[in-house]
């Protein structure tokens, strides 16, 4: 059974766009993250508008997944969730121009393409800025149906840029279901063990730094006792957490 498009009032859409824009801007102003405006152009995709949008969305999810592992070594770790790049994208149609590139773009997929805002952590595994990184690994980031990615830094008003990439949503040419917001929320991150869940709570209480060095290769003469470690960690943590965080 096909899921019906989510109908959201125009004013609520404006509120959602402002909230997402504000959250991204806070990362830039408070944490020094780097913001970019990306435009994704595609090769011809067969089928109607829904098929094209589905293929484009899949391509952008693959783009983010590929980029994520170049930014963070272990992106699925709950300890690193706050260091994952932010990605907000929506479909759009080209604004009329008179150059040859525009004419070629509107001839492909009826002009349908995607705009996105990507906000990248200041400290990451990247050896270059985003533009240099994508250029160096162009083949990695442009598997079909992606044809071209245009990138430029964002220096102006975040709200204005967010309104720009969502103009087709606000005009009703596309729906909020076509919007991509990544990463997923924390409820979708599944810790791999009970001990891992306990360590996440240690981070929340402030007993452990958010970034933990990898000690898995450290040798020890005493065998690791999982149950004993979990029990001791839980008892110790409860002495420090506020009532609102207690199980």
pLDDT digits (tens, 9 = 90+) for 5-20: 556 677 888 888 988 9
| Verdict on whether the full-model pTM lies above 0.95 | no
Q: What's the CA gap between 103 and 212, in Å, rounded?
A: 51
> For 119-168, what is each residue's pLDDT tens digit?
999 888 888 899 999 999 999 999 999 999 999 999 878 889 999 999 99
- 93-129 pLDDT tens trace: 887 665 556 566 778 998 999 999 999 998 888 888 9
pLDDT score at 152: 95
The number of beta carbons lying within 10 Å of the beta carbon of residue 223 is: 6
Residue carrying structure tokens 């509120």: 15
Its sign, for the CA torsion 58, 65, 179, 161, is negative
Is the per-residue pLDDT at 34 higher than 90? yes
Question: What is the per-residue pLDDT across 163-212, written as a single tens digit (0 to 9) for each?
Answer: 999 999 988 899 999 999 998 754 444 444 565 566 666 666 666 555 44
- Burial class from Cβ neighbours inside 10 Å (0-12, 13-18, 19+) for residue 150 reads middle
Tokens 């162009």 correspond to 138
Q: Distance (Å, rounded) from C-alpha 170 to C-alpha 163?
A: 8
């Amino acid at each position: 059974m096909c899921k019906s498009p989510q109908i959201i009032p125009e004013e609520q859409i404006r509120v959602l766009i402002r909230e997402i824009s504000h959250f991204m801007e806070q990362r830039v102003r408070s944490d020094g993250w780097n913001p970019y405006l990306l435009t994704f152009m595609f090769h011809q995709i067969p089928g109607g508008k829904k098929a094209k949008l589905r293929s484009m969305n899949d391509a952008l999810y693959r783009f983010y997944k590929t980029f994520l592992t170049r930014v963070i070594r272990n992106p699925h770790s709950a300890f690193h969730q706050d260091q994952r790049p932010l990605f907000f994208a929506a479909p759009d149609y080209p604004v009329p121009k008179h150059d040859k590139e525009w004419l070629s773009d509107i001839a492909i997929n009826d002009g349908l393409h995607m705009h996105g805002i990507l906000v990248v952590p200041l400290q990451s595994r990247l050896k270059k800025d985003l533009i240099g990184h994508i250029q160096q690994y162009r083949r990695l980031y442009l598997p079909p149906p992606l044809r071209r990615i245009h990138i430029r830094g964002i220096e102006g008003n975040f709200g204005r840029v967010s309104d720009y990439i969502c103009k087709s949503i606000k005009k009703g040419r596309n729906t909020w279901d076509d919007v991509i917001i990544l990463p997923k929320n924390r409820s979708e991150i599944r810790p791999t063990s009970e001990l891992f869940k306990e360590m996440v709570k240690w981070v929340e209480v402030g007993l452990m730094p958010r970034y933990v060095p990898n000690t898995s290769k450290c040798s020890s003469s005493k065998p690791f006792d999982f149950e004993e470690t979990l029990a001791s960690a839980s008892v110790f943590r409860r002495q420090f957490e506020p009532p609102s965080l207690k199980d």
